[in-house]
Amino acid sequence: MKEKTLWSGGRLDAVLDQNMTRLNRSLDTDQRMAHEDIRGSIAWAGAILDAGILSEEEYRQICSGLEQISLEISEKRFQFLPSDEDIHSAVERRLTEIIGAVGGKLHTGRSRNDQVVTDFRLWLRNTMDNLIKEITELQSAFFYRAKNDIDIIISGYTHFQQAQPILLSHWWLSHLWALERDKQRLREFRDRTNVLPLGSGALAGTTFPIDRFKLAADLNFSQPAPNSIDAVSDRDFVCDFLYWASMLGIHLSRCAEALILYTTMEYGYITLSDQFSTGSSLMPQKKNPDSLELIRGKSGSQTGRLTAMLTILKGLPSAYDKDLQDDKELVFQAADTASLTMAVMNGVLRTLKVNREKCQQAINMQALATDIADYLVKKGMPFREAHHAVGKAVKLSETIGINLADLPLSEWQKISPLFDQDVFSVFSLESSIHQRSSWGGTSREQVSKQLAYAEKIISDQDQ
């Protein structure tokens, strides 16, 4: 028996090739938008009612049928058929089963081109709202760590070489602010997504008197798209979202990379909970940071999805092309990955243990070399000369094999007569931290201000 499609029986009458059917079918992916499709269809029914296409009774029947379908889907009673090409054809097929030929009126003036992208924008808009909440939850985990680790000093790194001592809280908060950019970026992308394509038809608009501004308001869109050709082909919002997912993945990956190193025996700064670690099938002693490695690895997948979408778009002319069918799978996967990796990172942060002594003992006093240069500057030496002088002291301490803090005063004074006994007071991690007191610095005072600022941002989002 020949399977009936939305477009068969007219211009095309041959049975679609079996492999072509498999390639063309998107139901397994886009059935995720079922409730958005129903919501958009109810709004469209209202629009064609206002345009005089439907009677009040027909409108009532269509809405009642769509609501029944929504319930069937929610209760997992909806029966998909092999002939259902996508969620849109499945819903329309079931609607005509429930209410008869009147169901065929629903698609008047509407194309799947404007229907699918409307559903997609509705779905993505709701997903963005949920993801914003999940980002805030992850920020709360970084805030929790920063608040609880306020007295722990750790080496800050540039080029992954010890640079200057910082409060560990300052480091945790650096990741919180990266997430804040992700949150703001998502809000901006949501605004650009919130434009209604419905009513654009296949590409040229519709001949029926549809009030697209009222339709946009009914679906809580900010405005209808101003150009029908652009409306059905625009996937900038998809690229925006995939870029967001890529950046989030990169931010989580950078944090994960450092934490992986900090869990090693050589560093030993942190210990992961067993809940977020795995063992080895061969080596009994192993405790692997697979949670963090998977977060790091998923970042590559997220970037790949963005690249895939950009590659799909680059060769397309204006209006709709079937290549765009792949956009939803990429976005759904990206959204799922973003949500899952944030949840895992949240758990990692809330359950890990910081080894305070290891963090501080690992700091080489050479990390205070800039403080010594600042000491000379305060005594009148130009910074570039001070930088050179301290560099000679560091090289001398390495040559004779002693810690920079143990270099005798006589050796300091050979380098510059400005060095005095008080140079040894510079070798204090606490003092170094305290002096970084400019806005955004690592002093406890400034980190406390950061914490207050971060808490307000988190609290405002929770309301």
CATH code, domain with 52: 1.10.275.10
List the structure tokens of 259: 């934490």
- Residue 261's nearest CA partner among 272, 250, 251, 248 is 272
Q: Could you tell me what percent of the chain has a pLDDT over 90?
A: 92
Do residues 96 and 154 both lie within one domain?
no
Same domain, 254 and 132: yes
- The model's pLDDT over 128-181, given as tens digits with 9 standing for 90+, comes to 999 999 999 999 999 999 999 999 999 999 999 999 999 999 999 999 999 999
Question: How many angstroms separate the CA atoms of 352 and 270, rounded?
Answer: 7
Distance between CA atoms of 176 and 251, rounded to whole angstroms? Answer: 10
How do the residues of the chain divide into helix, strand and coil, expressed in percent and rounded to 5? 65, 5, 30
Whether residue 265 lies inside any domain: the answer is: yes
Statement to judge: residues 412 and 324 lie in one domain: no
pLDDT single digits (tens) 188-199: 999 999 999 999
Pair (178, 321) in one structural domain: yes
Phi, psi of 443 (to 5 degrees): -65, 155
Q: Outline where DSSP puts E strands in 122-219.
A: 153-158, 161-167, 195-196
Q: Are 459 and 151 in contact (CB under 8 A)?
A: no
User: Do residues 138 and 164 both lie within one domain?
Assistant: yes
Which pLDDT does position 1 carry in this prediction?
38
Domain check: are 74 and 181 in the same one? no
Active site residue 170: no
Same domain for 145 and 271, yes or no, is: yes
Residue 390: pLDDT over 80 = yes
**In Å, how far are 28, 56, 122, 196, 320 from 32, measured between CA atoms?**
8, 30, 12, 20, 21
Q: Among the three residues 361, 377, 394, which one is the final residue of a domain in this structure?
A: 361
Residue of 159, 410, 425, 438 with catalytic role: 159
399 located within any domain = yes
In-domain check, residue 214: no
Whether residue 207 contacts residue 263, with contact meaning beta carbons closer than 8 Å, is answered with no
Note whether residue 4 is domain-resident: no
Residues of the chain with pLDDT > 70: what percent? 97
Q: Does 194 lie in the same domain as 236? A: yes
Q: Residue 8 domain-assigned?
A: no
Nearest one of 367, 356, 343 to 157, comparing CA atoms: 367
Tokens for 306, please give them: 């963005």
Average of pLDDT values for 253-265?
97
- Rounded Cα distance between 86 and 177, Å, is 41
Question: Using 50, 70 and 90 to split pLDDT, how confident is the model at 14?
Answer: low
Q: Tell me how far apart the alpha carbons of residues 227 and 210 are, in angstroms, rounded to a whole number.
A: 15
Last residue of some domain: 318, 341, 361?
Answer: 361
- Widest pairwise Cα distance in the chain: 101
DSSP 77-104: -----TT--SHHHHHHHHHHHHHGGGGG
User: Are 59 and 153 in the same domain?
Assistant: no
As given in the structure block, the two tokens for residue 190 are 């949501």
Indicate whether 217 belongs to any domain.
no
* CATH number, residue 457: 1.10.40.30
Please give the distance of CA 462 from its chain centroid, rounded to a whole number.
Answer: 18
302 found inside a domain: yes
CB atoms near residue 152 (< 10 Å): 20
d(CA 338, CA 28): 21
Look at residue 2 in the predicted model and tell me its pLDDT. 46
Same domain, 313 and 234: yes
What pairing do the DSSP bridges indicate for beta strands 153-158 and 161-167? antiparallel
Residues 277 and 353 reside in one and the same domain: yes
Would you state the torsion angle of the CA atoms of residues 431, 435, 437, 443, taken in this order, to the nearest 10 degrees? Answer: -20
Total of domains in the chain: 3
- SS3 category, 76: coil
pLDDT in tens, 445-461: 999 999 999 999 999 87
**CATH number assigned to the domain comprising residue 332:** 1.20.200.10
Q: What is the CA radius of gyration of the chain?
A: 31
**Which residue, of 338, 361, 384, is where some domain finishes?**
361
Beta strands in 305-407 (DSSP E): 353-354
Domain assignment present for residue 216? The answer is no
Residue 123: closest CA among 201, 194, 75: 194
- The tokens of 165 are what? 């001592």
Q: For the chain, give me the number of helices (H) and strands (E)?
A: 18, 6
First to last CA, the chain: 57
Catalytic residue among 55, 64, 273, 280: 280
Binning pLDDT at 50, 70 and 90, where does residue 462 land?
low
Please report which confidence band the pLDDT of residue 22 belongs to, taking 50, 70 and 90 as the band edges: confident
- Contact of 232 with 111, CB cutoff 8 Å: yes
Question: Would residue 280 show up in a list of annotated catalytic residues for this protein?
Answer: yes
Spatial CB neighbours of 190, under 8 Å, sequence gap ≥ 6: 125, 128, 129
Structure tokens at 433: 């931290």
Which domain range does residue 158 map to? 113-208+227-361
Give yes or no: residues 335 and 420 share one domain. no
SS3 state at 137: helix
Q: Is the pLDDT of residue 42 over 70?
A: yes
- What is the torsion angle, in degrees rounded to the nearest 10, for the CA atoms of residue 209, residue 213, residue 217 and residue 222? 150
